[in-house]
């Protein structure tokens, strides 16, 4: 595992962490799943050249676009511990949107999305005769970028079954070398960032245990305090 975050100028106040969301997509058997990973561009401002899951910042339109596609009740309850419901829905929509933008895959289920002209993502769902499957997301981790980094995110990680994705996997301007890899091999052989390693470990555990929906299930949070990495539950 490796962490390669740029350092801020001395004396500057820590940057405010932006809300962001990411999706760990797993597929295959419960014992030996595959995970979807892509490599960030070498000239990316944040985490260049490392393998990550699809994801990104919440946009100002995400909350409104998420309204017709609610999270499962237990997932919403888990996220409400640290953010209001509308923000939780926006995070889920950001995760779904970023997955499509960065990989070409739609996290969806058969249905009618309705307003196909609302956004390019709506048009893609309409063309595929699908609707977003926010209700199939599991919430597995929250991670806050250390204060020493000049670019910071408050990222919520979701887990989704690769069987709920539709479309052709494609390389984009955001992620290169996108593909399905053995999740166990990714943990042992890839030089993953610490947060990516933790998110994948949490996803694999959840995938294998396949627990019943539980609004009281604790979710891990990774953060730093005075240059010390801490992991708690919330």
pLDDT digits (tens, 9 = 90+) for 60-85: 999 999 999 999 999 999 999 999 99
83 part of a folded domain: yes
| The pLDDT of residue 1 is above 60 | no
Average pLDDT in the chain: 91
For 17, 23, 70, 199, 206, the CA distances from 139, given in Å and listed in that order, are 19, 9, 14, 10, 10
Count other Cβ atoms within 10 Å, centred on residue 92.
30
5 part of a folded domain: no
Tokens representing 97 are 């949107």
Residue with the bigger pLDDT between 137 and 49: it is: 137
Which residue range is the domain that position 114 belongs to? 18-233
13 part of a folded domain: no
* Contacts made by residues 79-84, CB under 8 angstroms, sequence distance 24+: 79/139, 79/156, 81/219, 81/234, 82/142, 82/221, 82/234, 83/19
pLDDT digits (tens, 9 = 90+) for 87-125: 999 999 999 999 999 999 999 999 999 888 889 999 999
185 part of a folded domain: yes
Closest by CA to 158, choosing from 99, 228, 85, 226, is 99
Give pLDDT, residue 45: 67
Domain holding 106: CATH number? Answer: 3.90.79.10
Q: How many domains does the chain have?
A: 1
86 part of a folded domain: yes
7 part of a folded domain: no
Give pLDDT, residue 93: 98
Distance, CA of 101 to CA of 198 (rounded, Å): 24
2 part of a folded domain: no
221: which strand partners?
A: 142, 232
Give pLDDT, residue 214: 98
3 part of a folded domain: no
Percent of the chain beyond pLDDT 70? 92
Give pLDDT, residue 7: 45
């Amino acid at each position: 595992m490796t962490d390669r975050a740029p350092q801020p100028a001395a004396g500057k106040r820590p940057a405010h962490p932006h809300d962001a969301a990411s999706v760990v997509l797993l597929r295959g058997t419960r014992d030996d799943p595959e995970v979807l990973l892509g490599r960030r561009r070498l000239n990316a401002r944040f985490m260049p050249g490392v393998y990550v899951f699809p994801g990104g910042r919440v946009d100002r339109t995400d909350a409104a676009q998420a309204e017709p596609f609610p999270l499962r009740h237990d997932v919403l309850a888990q996220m409400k511990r640290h953010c209001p419901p509308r923000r939780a829905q926006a995070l889920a929509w950001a995760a779904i949107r970023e997955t499509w933008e960065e990989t070409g895959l739609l996290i969806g289920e058969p249905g009618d999305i309705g307003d196909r002209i609302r956004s390019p993502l709506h048009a893609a769902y309409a063309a595929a005769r699908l609707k977003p499957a926010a209700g199939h997301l599991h919430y597995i981790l929250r991670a806050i970028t250390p204060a020493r980094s000049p670019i910071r995110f408050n990222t919520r990680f979701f887990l989704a079954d690769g069987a709920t994705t539709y479309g052709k996997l494609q390389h984009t301007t955001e992620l290169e070398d996108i593909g399905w890899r053995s999740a166990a091999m990714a943990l042992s052989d890839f030089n993953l960032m610490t947060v990516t390693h933790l998110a994948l470990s949490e996803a694999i555990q959840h995938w294998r245990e396949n627990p019943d929906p539980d609004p009281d299930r604790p979710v891990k949070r990774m953060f730093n305090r005075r240059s010390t990495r801490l992991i708690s539950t919330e």
